[in-house]
Amino acid sequence: MNQRDAQRLLDEADLICPADVVKSSVERLAGEITTKLKGEFPVVLSVMGGAAVFTGHLLPLLVFPLEFGAIEVTRYNNDTQGRDIHWSLPPRDNVRGRVVLVVDDILDQGITLAAIRDKLLEMGAKHVWSAVFADKALGHEKPIAADFVGVTVPNRYVFGFGMDAYGLWRNLPAIYALKD
Ligand SMILES: O=P(O)(O)OC[C@H]1O[C@H](OP(=O)(O)OP(=O)(O)O)[C@H](O)[C@@H]1O
Ligand SMILES: Nc1nc2[nH]cnc2c(=O)[nH]1
């Protein structure tokens, strides 16, 4: 996609969550996570690459001992349709016997987060918590619910604050939905 088409994508999109709401939601989430996990010395795993921006804002607000790492699993591969799970950076053995907090940008069908939870439990994690910035309102049950949720977004393809539209616009401070 060229620069003009990328700009048009944003110009035609609908604003779903402005930047000030994104910021206050991250702060609220940090408070909720701190209340639950401050005494647990958790392993915090950020799901690359969508969660990079959310994690970068969240982590400095978690002022308690934790061990940080990244995992990489993709299902959408810069497309708007999810396919099979592909692990490019699986969890390390340091999760065995530990409380783990998985940080991801969005819970959509829940297939990615459920697969991450199952893998961590299989690897011996003591408890798996999850924080997602956006929870998409699908109108039906998902295979997993997140323990900490920033905002609920409508059942549309959203982007910004780490989430991509065809690989672009992860850098936006607000969340938008692609034109239908
Ligand atoms: O609930 P699901 O329907 O499984 O979708 C959610 C997943 O989709 C996105 O990842 P994606 O595969 O797009 O990779 P990315 O993080 O590189 O954007 C997002 O980061 C979640 O991990
Ligand atoms: N960027 C982005 N990634 C997703 N992964 C699953 N759903 C979405 C979505 O709505 N937007």
Give the Cβ contact number of residue 179 at 10 Å.
Answer: 12
Closest approach atom of ligand 2 to CA 156: 10
> With contact defined as beta carbons under 8 Å apart, do 44 and 67 qualify?
yes
Cβ burial of 116 (10 Å; 0-12, 13-18, 19+) is: buried
What is d(CA 32, CA 149) in angstroms, rounded to the nearest whole number? 10
Q: What is the CATH number of the domain that holds 107?
A: 3.40.50.2020
Please give the tally of structural domains in the chain.
Answer: 1
pLDDT tens track, the chain, 180 positions: 899 999 999 999 999 999 999 999 999 999 999 999 999 999 999 999 899 999 999 999 999 999 999 999 988 877 777 788 999 999 999 999 999 999 999 999 999 999 999 999 999 999 999 999 999 999 999 999 999 999 999 999 999 999 999 999 999 999 999 998
Backbone φ, ψ for residue 153 (5° rounding): -115, 155
The answer, yes or no, to whether any atom of ligand 2 lies below 6 A from the CB of 68, is: no
Q: Which domain, by its residues, includes 69? A: 3-75+83-177
Separation of alpha carbons 161 and 54, rounded Å: 7
pLDDT (tens digit, 9 = 90+) per residue, 113-125? Answer: 999 999 999 999 9
Is there an atom of ligand 2 within 6 Å of 47 CB?
no
- The atom of ligand 1 lying closest to the CA of 48 is 16
Atom number in ligand 1 closest to CA 110: 1
Q: Is 82 in the pocket of ligand 1 (CB under 6 A)?
A: yes
Can you tell me the ipTM of this complex? 0.97
Q: What is the pTM of this model?
A: 0.96
